[in-house]
Amino acid sequence: MADAPENLAATIILPTHDHGPTLYCSVRSALEQTVPVEVFIIGDGATEETRAIARELENADDRVRFFDHPKSPSRGEMHRHEALKQARGRVVCYLSDDDLYLPHHCEDMCRLLDDADFAHALPVEALPDGGIALAVIDLAMEGYRREILGERNRLPLSAGAHTVEAYWRLDRGWTSAPPGISSDLYMWRKWVSHPGCRFRAATRPSVLVFPSPKRRHLSNEARMREMQEWAERYRGERGSAQLTEQVLAVSLKDAAALEALAGEGAGTLAWPPSLQVFYPRPESYAERFSAVIPLRPRVWDRISLRFPYPAGRYSIRIDPSGRPGLIEVANIAVHDPRGNTLWELTPASAAQIRVEGTGVALTRQPLTVVSDGDDPRLILPPLELTRPTEVELAVELRLDAESAKLARLLAGHVRAVQSKRVSLRRAFDRLFRRSGKT
Domain-embedded: residue 130: yes
Distance, in Å, from the CA atom of 424 to the CA atom of 416, rounded to the nearest integer, reads: 9
Q: Of 197, 226, 259, which residue is a domain's last?
A: 259
Are 431 and 410 in contact by the 8 Å Cβ rule? The answer is yes
Q: Of 259, 282, 311, which residue is a domain's last?
A: 259
Tens digit of pLDDT at every position of the chain (438 positions): 344 455 899 999 999 999 999 999 999 999 999 999 999 999 999 999 999 999 999 999 999 999 999 998 888 999 999 999 999 999 999 999 999 999 999 999 999 999 999 999 998 999 988 999 888 889 999 889 988 988 778 899 999 999 999 999 999 999 999 887 889 999 999 999 999 999 999 989 999 999 988 888 899 999 999 999 999 999 888 888 899 888 888 877 766 665 555 454 444 444 457 788 999 888 788 877 888 887 777 788 888 888 888 899 999 999 987 667 788 899 999 999 888 999 999 989 999 999 988 888 878 878 888 886 667 899 999 998 888 888 999 999 888 755 444 444 455 544 554 454 444 444 444 444 444 443
- SS3 at position 211: coil
Domain-embedded: residue 222: yes
Range(s) of the domain holding residue 62:
5-259
Q: What's the full length of the chain, in residues?
A: 438
Predicted confidence at residue 275, as pLDDT, reads 85
Are 70 and 2 in contact by the 8 Å Cβ rule? The answer is no
Q: Label residues 148-177 b or e (16+ Cβ within 10 Å = b).
A: beeeebbbbbbbbbbbbebbeebeebbeeb
Domain-embedded: residue 264: no
- The reply to whether 367 and 423 lie within a common domain is yes
- The reply to whether 167 and 296 lie within a common domain is no
Are 19 and 220 in contact by the 8 Å Cβ rule? The answer is yes
CATH of the domain at 96: 3.90.550.10
- SS3 at position 300: strand
- The reply to whether 17 and 101 lie within a common domain is yes
Backbone angles phi, psi at 230, to 5 degrees: -65, -40
- The reply to whether 250 and 281 lie within a common domain is no
Domain-embedded: residue 268: no
- The reply to whether 170 and 68 lie within a common domain is yes
Domain-embedded: residue 127: yes
Are 120 and 201 in contact by the 8 Å Cβ rule? The answer is yes
In DSSP notation, 320-367 reads --SSSEEEEEEEEEEE-TT--EEEE--TTTGGGSEEEEEEEEEEETTE
Q: What HEC string does 180-200 produce? A: CCCHHHHHHHHHHHCCCCCEE
Distance, in Å, from the CA atom of 171 to the CA atom of 79, rounded to the nearest integer, reads: 17
Q: Of 215, 235, 259, which residue is a domain's last?
A: 259
- The reply to whether 235 and 340 lie within a common domain is no
In degrees, rounded to 5, the angle at the alpha carbon of residue 292 between the alpha carbons of residues 287 and 294 is: 155
- The reply to whether 102 and 177 lie within a common domain is yes
- SS3 at position 147: helix
Give Cα separations from 383 to 40, 50, 285, 334 (angstroms): 55, 64, 16, 10
Domains of the chain: total: 2
Q: How many CA atoms lie within 13 A of 342 on its CB side?
A: 23
**pTM, two decimal places:** 0.71
- The reply to whether 252 and 281 lie within a common domain is no
Query: How large is the C-alpha radius of gyration of the chain?
Result: 25
DSSP H or E run through 254: helix 236-262
Backbone angles phi, psi at 120, to 5 degrees: -150, 155
- The reply to whether 128 and 228 lie within a common domain is yes
Domain-embedded: residue 267: no
Strands 132-134 and 274-278: unpaired
- The reply to whether 167 and 203 lie within a common domain is yes
- The reply to whether 293 and 210 lie within a common domain is no
Domain-embedded: residue 345: yes
- The reply to whether 27 and 150 lie within a common domain is yes
Predicted confidence at residue 258, as pLDDT, reads 55
Predicted confidence at residue 428, as pLDDT, reads 43
Strands 118-126 and 199-209: parallel
Amino acid at 112: L
Predicted confidence at residue 301, as pLDDT, reads 86
Predicted confidence at residue 265, as pLDDT, reads 44
DSSP state of 109: H
* Residues paired with 134 in a beta bridge: 124
